[in-house]
């Protein structure tokens, strides 16, 4: 069977966790392929909110196997915290959670390095979640990292010490004030490593290959969004992994010709956390309303998300890079009550009007060109069928489908599993 992908098409926080949770009944295996605890996937069901950072969003379904793939970076301390929360809810994860031996481990000193690097950047900081993601991927590509499979080796603690000592000298080199107590951090880290070691480690590319061969259905769950991709995002204000479709091939060992459906998840407007350009960002009451009604605060850091109109130039780009086959529109309910809606369909760029994403999208280089549409008043959150949608919402959806040339198959009208409307 081909592997289906589910990806965020904006700057993250599109609502991927919710849709994975909704779609899990159709899949045997849910697999994370990149990123780490910088992600915060929120699921709401039976009146309760659950936030996952590293564990795949299929974990609440008894029949699904959940795989943390080789492309993911794992912080054992945060991972243990997630497991503790699952235990509190009597979720039996032992049989259903598998971890790739090739996934890299975030050390306490990776987190400290992240903080030192950001502090040294001053105003130019990335706005990182400070979870150690960048430094861990740097050690991966620099061929210094420690992998989950290394925990099974007798000398892994020596390797740990060598790397942590190197990190400490790098932290000193940054020459910024970072207070820390490494002995304390290490105590917590090694306790969490023991918990991690009690889980099942696998050669995940072989597992994924055999699963495909035997007809198992697999959904690869992306983290962050396409505009945060290390290659195709708004560099350097990006994360350190490939968040786009190709990342699923390298992050799980799936051959490119074995990719099936590509679900592209987007919000009916746009948000961004952290620094970096955002052409349709709003600094007025409309942006404030989106943030307030949409509860736009980061699930991992609690930071306020920047809000703006939907940017179709950027969305088209993400659809192209990922080969999206179906779109899922999230948080349409947040736009209820806006008299007029704006959608950016082009940019004014160096005296020209362009419809593709250029190299520079800083405010001094691009100005959004908007198409205005009539908004709707109706509360969407109680709707259960697309036939109940107001005309203006249908106009909005039809306009996006025409522009993007991809069907919008799911419209989410609230955070709960049940608030999900399928369109034919």
Binding residues for GTP: 12-18, 40-42, 305, 331-333, 412-414
If one asks whether residue 311 binds ligand IMP (CB under 6 A), the answer comes out as: no
Q: Is residue 13 flagged as an active site residue? A: yes
If one asks whether residue 294 binds ligand IMP (CB under 6 A), the answer comes out as: no
If one asks whether residue 273 binds ligand IMP (CB under 6 A), the answer comes out as: yes
If one asks whether residue 65 binds ligand IMP (CB under 6 A), the answer comes out as: no
If one asks whether residue 129 binds ligand IMP (CB under 6 A), the answer comes out as: yes
What is the rounded distance in angstroms from the CA atom of residue 147 to the CA atom of residue 10? Answer: 30
Which residues participate in the annotated binding site for Mg(2+)? 13, 40
* Closer to ligand IMP by Cβ: residue 245 or 341: 245
If one asks whether residue 20 binds ligand IMP (CB under 6 A), the answer comes out as: no
What is the rounded distance in angstroms from the CA atom of residue 199 to the CA atom of residue 41? Answer: 22
* Closer to ligand IMP by Cβ: residue 13 or 75: 13
If one asks whether residue 13 binds ligand IMP (CB under 6 A), the answer comes out as: yes
List the one residue from 19, 29, 223, 341 that touches ligand IMP (CB under 6 A).
223
If one asks whether residue 74 binds ligand IMP (CB under 6 A), the answer comes out as: no
| Nearest C-alpha neighbor of 314 from the set 278, 287, 265 | 278
List the one residue from 110, 131, 316, 342 that touches ligand IMP (CB under 6 A).
131
**CA 381: distance to chain centroid?**
24
List the one residue from 10, 24, 38, 242 that touches ligand IMP (CB under 6 A).
38
DSSP H helical segments within 239-297, as ranges?
245-252, 285-293
DSSP 24: G
Which residues participate in the annotated binding site for IMP? 13-16, 38-41, 129, 143, 224, 239, 303
Which residue in the list 80, 102, 131, 140 is annotated as catalytic?
140
Tracing tokens 């082009």 back to the chain, one arrives at: 346
The SS3 assignment for 328 reads strand
At CA 266, angle to CA 246 and CA 138, rounded to 5? 40
| Nearest C-alpha neighbor of 219 from the set 91, 69, 93, 330 | 69
What is the rounded distance in angstroms from the CA atom of residue 384 to the CA atom of residue 380? Answer: 9
At CA 40, angle to CA 304 and CA 310, rounded to 5? 55
Which one of the spans 5-13, 19-27, 282-290, 307-315 is the region binding ligand IMP (CB under 6 A)? 5-13
Angle between helices 108-121 and 133-141 (to 10 degrees): 110
List the one residue from 42, 65, 212, 239 that touches ligand IMP (CB under 6 A).
239
Residues 159 to 218: which contact ligand IMP by CB under 6 A? none
Q: How far is CA 328 from CA 62, 207, 243, 315, 410, in A?
A: 25, 29, 17, 12, 5
Q: Is residue 125 flagged as an active site residue? A: no
150 — phi, psi (to 5°)? -65, -25
Which one of the spans 55-63, 143-151, 205-213, 223-231 is the region binding ligand IMP (CB under 6 A)? 223-231
Which one of the spans 102-110, 128-136, 145-153, 185-193 is the region binding ligand IMP (CB under 6 A)? 128-136
* Closer to ligand IMP by Cβ: residue 135 or 368: 135
Tracing tokens 């991709």 back to the chain, one arrives at: 229
DSSP 399: H
Q: How far is CA 135 from CA 170, 256, 271, 345, in A?
A: 11, 28, 25, 37
Q: Is residue 385 flagged as an active site residue? A: no
If one asks whether residue 228 binds ligand IMP (CB under 6 A), the answer comes out as: yes
Which one of the spans 130-138, 211-219, 348-356, 366-374 is the region binding ligand IMP (CB under 6 A)? 130-138
**Strand-strand pairing, 73-74 and 104-105:** parallel
Instruction: Count how many residues are written for the chain.
Output: 424
- Can you give the binding site for ligand IMP, defined by CB under 6 A? 11-13, 38-40, 126-129, 131, 133-134, 223-224, 228, 237, 239, 273-274
Show which residues are catalytic.
13, 41, 140
């Amino acid at each position: 069977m081909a592997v289906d992908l589910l990806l965020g098409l904006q700057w993250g926080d599109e609502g991927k966790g919710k849709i994975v949770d909704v779609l899990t009944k159709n899949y045997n295996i849910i697999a994370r392929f990149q990123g780490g605890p910088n992600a915060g996937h929120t699921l709401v069901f039976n009146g309760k909110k659950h936030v996952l950072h590293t564990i795949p969003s299929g974990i609440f379904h008894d029949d699904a196997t959940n795989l943390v793939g080789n492309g993911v970076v794992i912080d054992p301390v945060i991972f243990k915290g997630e497991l503790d929360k699952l235990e509190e809810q009597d979720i039996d994860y032992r049989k259903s959670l598998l971890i790739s031996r090739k996934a890299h481990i975030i050390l306490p000193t990776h987190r400290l390095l992240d903080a030192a690097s950001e502090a040294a950047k001053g105003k130019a900081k990335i706005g990182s979640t400070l979870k150690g993601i960048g430094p861990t991927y740097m050690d991966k590509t620099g061929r210094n990292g420690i992998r989950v499979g290394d925990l099974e080796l007798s000398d892994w603690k020596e390797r740990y010490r060598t790397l942590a000592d190197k990190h400490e000298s790098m932290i000193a080199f940054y020459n910024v004030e970072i207070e820390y107590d490494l002995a304390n951090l290490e105590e917590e880290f090694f306790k969490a490593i023991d918990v991690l070691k009690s889980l099942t480690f696998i050669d995940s590319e072989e597992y994924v290959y055999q699963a495909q061969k035997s007809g198992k259905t697999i959904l690869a769950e992306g983290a962050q969004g396409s505009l945060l991709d290390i290659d195709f995002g708004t560099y350097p204000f990006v994360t350190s992994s490939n968040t786009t479709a190709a990342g699923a091939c390298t992050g799980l060992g799936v051959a490119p010709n074995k990719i099936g459906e590509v679900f592209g998840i987007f919000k009916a407007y746009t948000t961004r956390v952290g620094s970096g350009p955002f052409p349709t960002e709003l600094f007025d009451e409309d942006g404030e309303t989106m943030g307030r009604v949409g509860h736009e605060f980061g699930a991992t850091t609690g930071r306020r998300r920047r809000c703006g109109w939907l940017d179709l130039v950027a969305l088209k780009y993400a659809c192209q890079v990922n080969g999206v086959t179906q779109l899922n529109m999230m948080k349409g309910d947040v736009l209820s009550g806006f008299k007029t809606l704006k959608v950016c369909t082009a940019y004014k760029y160096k005296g020209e009007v362009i419809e593709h994403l250029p190299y520079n999208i800083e405010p001094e280089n691009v100005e959004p060109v908007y198409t205005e549409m009539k908004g709707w008043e109706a509360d969407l959150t109680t709707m259960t069928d697309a036939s109940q949608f107001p005309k203006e919402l249908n106009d909005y959806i039809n306009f996006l489908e025409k522009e993007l040339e991809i069907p919008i198959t799911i419209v989410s009208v609230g955070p709960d599993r049940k608030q999900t409307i399928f369109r034919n």
